[in-house]
């Protein structure tokens, strides 16, 4: 008995270590490689102003109210800056997103353990389906890209999946399960504080609807835990509505205006056709073959039933897809709620393949699908060094160590996959090879991303970061005559508030001051002020990598 417990404990620790290792590669390695995105700029600027002395409860962005998004992800970034000090190191600023992505994977692991606890395959390999599903989710393409970006979506969906895990745990409990339901309510509330009700609409609603329907064999437990579900709802509303109510009380007109703008945006901005999300399976990345196979109901349903509740998982996925498709505003990252059920289905397919081939029960169709996956895998391995050659980026050419490592490692993986999976038909080899390939691509190629972004950079262009330390403007108050793009505000390293002319005369009390404008002459200044002020053109900077992206001017305004 003791030996069995020891082996089980070692297996659990090994599985946890493997999941954390995959999360480390997926979310943290080369964390500062991509340049800051638009959404990150908004988050980081708001966090910077919190740390600089602004309000944590009424956030600002460039000293203007920032109420369009709830503040929890911004609080997380501000907390990092409070600990490490004001920083522009993107790896530090993206650390909270990586941690939340890791929590998403761990929450999903727990959720799948609950959903598969009664499946027949759990008798022979307890916990293997849940463990493998965590590895699949952690290495899925959209999860990796979103977990590396310091914005709101990964927070909202991570807390949501954690809430689903605790809800299922509460519904499956023999007692009242109030602790699980209270925890689920807390996580739902934190999801609301991360991005409003978006994740609840696209994740909670379809899952609970399917779990309480005939798609779930254990749906009777939902009715017997009504009080627990009510407790979860009360806690969720109490936590999630605390900040909106605070904002509504203190800045009601601005809050209502922002709410109206956001509702309008759902209908008018980034509008895409209803079928925009129907390529969702591509965003599973290295697991696309297994994901597609699991969606072929005639092929997958009978095969996956011993490993997971297939109807529930498929219903969860399709219901989320339909709800997302009904909203006119669509973006790729909005597909994040589709990845957990898709990862669950793909994992069921992997579990079937490894069991069927190990027991020599695989059909001809199974062999063909597996060999097709081997072909795709080999093609990717060959394409990596070819892409390195074609890109012609410095440090990645044929005479570099990176290129040599890419050829050797990708070639070795291709040979390993062909021999182990293609000839001997061992799916576990292909699973391990796919995880290794994902880690290799991140480690080897992600440093090329900034070089690829800058490949069209015109030489000799000066940007905001190059001029912000000019002695003539350093330490002076800064103002902008036109609304400055938030990426430029982030590059400024400090706020550049908009000067509301001609009514706002307060900046005149802080002369001399630096003024930024997209015009060489500051003709916007009222004529009566111009007679008293001296305006000296100090410098200029370009907004992008090319001259056509625009040019802004810096002037020093002082008393005559």
Query: Which H, E and C letters describe 311-324, residue by residue?
Result: HHHHHHHHHHHHHH
Assigned domain for 458 exists? no
What region, left, alpha or beta, does residue 270 occupy, with left being phi > 0 and alpha being psi -120 to 50 degrees? left
Q: Which pLDDT score is estimated for 532?
A: 82
Answer whether residue 348 shows pLDDT above 90. Answer: yes
Q: How confident is the model at residue 509 (pLDDT cuts 50, 70, 90)?
A: confident
Q: Which pLDDT score is estimated for 421?
A: 65
Query: Among 326, 356, 386, which residue terminates a domain?
Result: 356
Chain position carrying tokens 């938030």: 486
Same domain, 242 and 297: yes
pLDDT tens-place string over residues 510-553: 888 999 999 988 888 887 787 788 888 999 999 998 899 999 99
Assigned domain for 307 exists? yes
Answer whether residue 293 shows pLDDT above 70. Answer: yes
Exposure string over 298-334, b if 16+ CB within 10 A, otherwise e? ebbeebbbbbbbbbbbbbbbebbbebbbebbebeebb
With vertex at residue 377, the alpha carbon angle to CA 376 and CA 379, rounded to the nearest 5 degrees, is: 65
Q: How confident is the model at residue 2 (pLDDT cuts 50, 70, 90)?
A: low
Query: Which H, E and C letters describe 244-285, residue by residue?
Result: HHHHHHHCHHHHHHHHHHHHHHHHHCCECCHHHHCCHHHHHH
Same domain, 332 and 405: no
Q: How confident is the model at residue 349 (pLDDT cuts 50, 70, 90)?
A: very high
What is the pLDDT of the chain when averaged over all its residues? 91
Q: Which pLDDT score is estimated for 147?
A: 95
Assigned domain for 266 exists? yes
Q: Which residues pair with 456 in a beta bridge?
A: none
Q: What percent of the chain has pLDDT over 90?
A: 68
Q: How confident is the model at residue 559 (pLDDT cuts 50, 70, 90)?
A: confident
Same domain, 433 and 386: yes
Assigned domain for 461 exists? no
Total number of domains in the chain: 3
H-run or E-run covering 378: helix 364-391
- Distance, CA of 147 to CA of 58 (rounded, Å): 26
Query: Among 340, 356, 372, which residue terminates a domain?
Result: 356
Q: Which pLDDT score is estimated for 502?
A: 80
Assigned domain for 3 exists? no
pLDDT tens-place string over residues 172-218: 998 889 999 999 999 999 999 999 898 999 999 999 999 999 998 88
Query: Among 430, 452, 474, which residue terminates a domain?
Result: 452
Length of the chain: 560
Same domain, 207 and 72: yes
**Taking a C-beta distance cutoff of 8 angstroms, is the pair 341, 358 a contact?**
no
Q: Which pLDDT score is estimated for 336?
A: 96
Alpha-carbon Rg for the chain, nearest whole angstrom, is: 27
- Stronger pLDDT, 303 or 395, i.e. the higher one: 303
Answer whether residue 1 shows pLDDT above 60. Answer: no
Same domain, 413 and 279: no
Same domain, 141 and 219: yes
Answer whether residue 3 shows pLDDT above 60. Answer: no
- Three-state DSSP class for 555? strand
Would you state the structure tokens that stand for residue 308, as one six-digit string? Answer: 């997971």
Same domain, 144 and 198: yes
- pTM here? 0.94
Same domain, 231 and 276: yes
pLDDT tens-place string over residues 253-292: 998 988 888 777 777 777 888 899 999 999 999 999 999 9
Structural domain for 412, as ranges: 362-452
What is the DSSP secondary-structure string of 311-360? Answer: HHHHHHHHHHHHHHHHSSB--GGGGGGGHHHHHHHHHHHHHHHHHHHHTT
The residue-averaged pLDDT of 319-330 equals: 92
pLDDT tens-place string over residues 146-170: 999 999 999 999 999 999 999 999 9
Same domain, 368 and 344: no
Taking the CB of residue 359, how many other CB atoms lie within 10 A of it?
8
Q: Which pLDDT score is estimated for 6?
A: 60
Same domain, 73 and 155: yes
The residue-averaged pLDDT of 98-118 equals: 96
Q: Which pLDDT score is estimated for 17?
A: 95
The answer to whether the Cα torsion of 237, 238, 241, 245 is positive or negative is positive
pLDDT tens-place string over residues 360-414: 898 999 999 999 999 999 999 999 999 888 888 888 888 888 889 989 999 999 8
Assigned domain for 1 exists? no
Same domain, 34 and 159: yes
Assigned domain for 171 exists? yes
Same domain, 67 and 40: yes
Assigned domain for 6 exists? no
Q: Which pLDDT score is estimated for 392?
A: 85
The residue-averaged pLDDT of 61-89 equals: 93
């Amino acid at each position: 008995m003791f030996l069995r417990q020891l082996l089980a404990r070692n297996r659990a620790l090994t599985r946890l270590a493997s999941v954390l290792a995959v999360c480390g590669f997926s979310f943290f390695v080369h964390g500062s490689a991509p340049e800051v995105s638009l959404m990150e700029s908004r988050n980081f600027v708001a966090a910077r102003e919190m740390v600089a002395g602004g309000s944590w409860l009424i956030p600002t962005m460039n000293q203007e109210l920032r109420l369009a998004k709830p503040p929890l992800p911004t609080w997380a970034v501000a907390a990092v800056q409070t600990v490490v000090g004001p920083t522009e190191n993107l790896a530090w600023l993206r650390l909270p997103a990586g941690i939340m992505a890791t929590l998403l994977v761990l929450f999903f692991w727990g959720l799948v353990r609950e959903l598969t606890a009664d499946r027949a395959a759990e008798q022979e390999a307890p916990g293997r389906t849940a463990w493998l599903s965590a590895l699949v989710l952690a290495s899925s393409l959209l999860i990796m890209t979103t977990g590396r970006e310091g914005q709101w979506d990964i927070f909202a969906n991570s807390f949501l999946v954690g809430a689903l895990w605790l809800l299922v745990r509460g519904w499956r409990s023999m007692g009242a399960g109030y602790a699980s339901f209270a925890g689920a309510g807390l996580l739902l509330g934190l999801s609301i504080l991360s991005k409003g009700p978006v994740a609840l609409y696209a994740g909670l609603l379809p899952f609970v609807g399917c779990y309480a329907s005939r798609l779930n064999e254990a749906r009777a437990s939902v009715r017997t835990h009504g009080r627990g579900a009510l407790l979860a709802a009360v806690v969720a509303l109490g936590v999630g509505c605390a900040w909106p109510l605070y904002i509504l009380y203190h800045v009601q007109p601005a809050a209502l205006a922002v709410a109206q703008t956001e509702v309008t945006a759902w209908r008018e901005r980034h509008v895409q056709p209803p079928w925009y999300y129907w390529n969702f399976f591509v965003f599973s990345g290295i697991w696309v073959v297994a994901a597609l196979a699991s969606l072929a109901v005639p092929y997958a349903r009978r095969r996956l039933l011993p490993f997971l509740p297939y109807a529930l998982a498929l219903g969860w996925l399709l219901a989320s897809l339909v709800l997302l498709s009904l909203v006119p505003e669509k973006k790729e990252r909005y597909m994040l709620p589709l990845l957990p059920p898709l990862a669950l289905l793909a994992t069921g397919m992997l579990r079937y393949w490894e069991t069927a081939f190990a027991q020599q029960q695989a059909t001809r169709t199974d062999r063909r699908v597996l060999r097709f996956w081997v072909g795709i895998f080999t093609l990717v391995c060959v394409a990596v060094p070819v892409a390195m050659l074609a890109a012609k980026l410095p440090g990645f050419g044929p005479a570099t160590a990176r290129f040599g490592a890419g050829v050797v490692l990708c070639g070795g993986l291709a040979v390993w996959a062909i021999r182990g999976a293609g000839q001997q038909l061992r799916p576990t080899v292909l699973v391990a090879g796919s995880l290794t390939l994902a880690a290799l691509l991140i480690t080897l190629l992600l440093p090329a991303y900034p070089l690829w972004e800058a490949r069209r950079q015109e030489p000799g262009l000066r940007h905001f970061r190059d001029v912000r330390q000019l002695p003539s403007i350093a330490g002076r108050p800064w103002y902008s005559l036109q609304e400055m793009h938030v990426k430029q505000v982030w590059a400024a390293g400090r706020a550049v508030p908009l000067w509301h002319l001609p009514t706002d005369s307060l900046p005149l009390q802080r002369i001399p001051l630096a003024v930024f404008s997209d015009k060489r002459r500051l003709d916007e200044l009222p004529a009566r002020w111009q007679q008293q002020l001296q305006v000296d053109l100090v410098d200029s900077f370009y907004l992008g990598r090319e001259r056509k992206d625009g040019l802004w001017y810096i002037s020093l305004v002082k008393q005559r």
